[in-house]
Amino acid sequence: MADLHAFGRREDAAEALAEAVLHRLATGLSARGAATLVVPGGTSPAALFACLRCADLDWSRVTVVPSDERWVPVTDPESNERLLRETLCIDAAADARLLGLYRDTPTPRAALGEVAAALDALPIVVDAVVLGMGADGHTASLFPDARNIAACLETSAPCVAPQRPPGETPRLSLSLARLRATKSLSLLCFGEDKRAAYTRAAEPGPSTQYPVRGVIHQSRVPLSVYWAD
Ligand SMILES: O=C(O)[C@H](O)[C@@H](O)[C@H](O)[C@H](O)COP(=O)(O)O
């Protein structure tokens, strides 16, 4: 199960999570001379990134990986790689190595082999994974409405291409297996709607209904939840 850290202000939640992540990265750097951090896209991590990018860390030895990617060019406003390049890998973190997931292929599925090979070059267990979640219980790009969500949740492959409904931007996501292969797993979410969704997901039930259950109901690595209204 998970331990829930509730904060009065979103900035406080972000600062607390940044401190935990930086400690984990520094531990990895001193132990192995390198560290890997997986982070979400979306709006919630903005204050977290603002804390991380000011931190005095040897970022040149840190690899940053988005938990998922929208299948748009990396110059597109929707791109998570662009988001990380513009809001995390700057300032003190400008030298971090950003391992993007987007490839210039018509579909995410066409890039699965190449992206999987890139992810396989990472350590089997990364140092820290930070995830967001939606009020529908998705995390990364593991959405309950994806037609192949069951297969996406069960695979041991490092990345998956959820089949989104027509009209939705195609996406590629790190798989649950990859997201759980970490020394530190955190979920950052704000607002009552997400707290209610988290509470529902914390009850037993199928992960296909709430994919975030895949990181809540697991014994591989303790989950820390950072929440503020
Ligand atoms: O690419 C993404 O958008 C994220 O990886 C996704 O899983 C995000 O964390 C949630 O959708 C929450 O998004 P917000 O933080 O914007 O609410």
Q: Whose CA is nearest to atom 9 of ligand 1?
A: 132
Q: Is 44 in the pocket of ligand 1 (CB under 6 A)?
A: yes
Distance 32 CA to ligand 1 centre (A): 30
Task: Give pLDDT tens digits for 208-223.
Answer: 999 999 999 999 999 9
Q: Can you tell me the distance from the alpha carbon of 198 to that of 210, in angstroms, rounded to the nearest whole number?
A: 9
Which of 10, 67, 159 should be mutated for ligand 1, with most atoms under 8 A from CB?
Answer: 67
Of all residues in the chain, the percent with pLDDT exceeding 70 is 100
| DSSP letter string, the chain | -EEEEEESSHHHHHHHHHHHHHHHHHHHHHHHS-EEEEE--SSTTHHHHHHHTTS-S-GGGEEEEESEEESS-TTSTT-HHHHHHHHTSSGGGTTPEE-----SSSSHHHHHHHHHHHHHTS-SSBSEEEE---TTS-BTTB-TT-TTHHHHHH--SSEE---PPTTSPPEEEE-HHHHHSBS-EEEEEESHHHHHHHHHHTSS--TTT-TTHHHHS-SSS-EEEEEE-
**Banded pLDDT at 1 (limits 50, 70, 90):** low
Which of 10, 38, 141, 169 should be mutated for ligand 1, with most atoms under 8 A from CB?
Answer: 141
Of all residues in the chain, the percent with pLDDT exceeding 90 is 99
Q: Looking at residue 189, which CATH number applies to its domain?
A: 3.40.50.1360
* pLDDT at res. 140: 98
Q: Is 40 in the pocket of ligand 1 (CB under 6 A)?
A: yes
pLDDT value at 229 more than 80: yes
> Angle at Cα 158 formed by Cα 76 and Cα 119, nearest 5°?
65
In ligand 1, the atom with minimum distance to the C-alpha of 189 is: 15
What is the domain count for the chain? 1
Q: Can you tell me the distance from the alpha carbon of 39 to that of 130, in angstroms, rounded to the nearest whole number?
A: 5
Non-local (6+) Cβ contacts of 52 within 8 A are: 18, 21, 22, 88, 93
Domain that residue 195 falls in? 3-228
Q: Whose CA is nearest to atom 3 of ligand 1?
A: 42
Give the residue-averaged pLDDT of 2-12: 96
* pLDDT at res. 139: 98
pLDDT value at 32 more than 70: yes
Q: Is 175 in the pocket of ligand 1 (CB under 6 A)?
A: no
ipTM of the predicted assembly exceeds 0.85? yes
Cβ-in-10-Å burial (0-12, 13-18, 19+) of 213 comes to: buried
Distance 80 CA to ligand 1 centre (A): 10
Candidates 146, 142, 149; CA nearest to 165 is 146
**Banded pLDDT at 125 (limits 50, 70, 90):** very high
Q: Whose CA is nearest to atom 15 of ligand 1?
A: 44
Task: Give pLDDT tens digits for 153-208.
Answer: 999 999 999 999 999 999 999 999 999 999 999 999 999 999 999 999 999 999 99
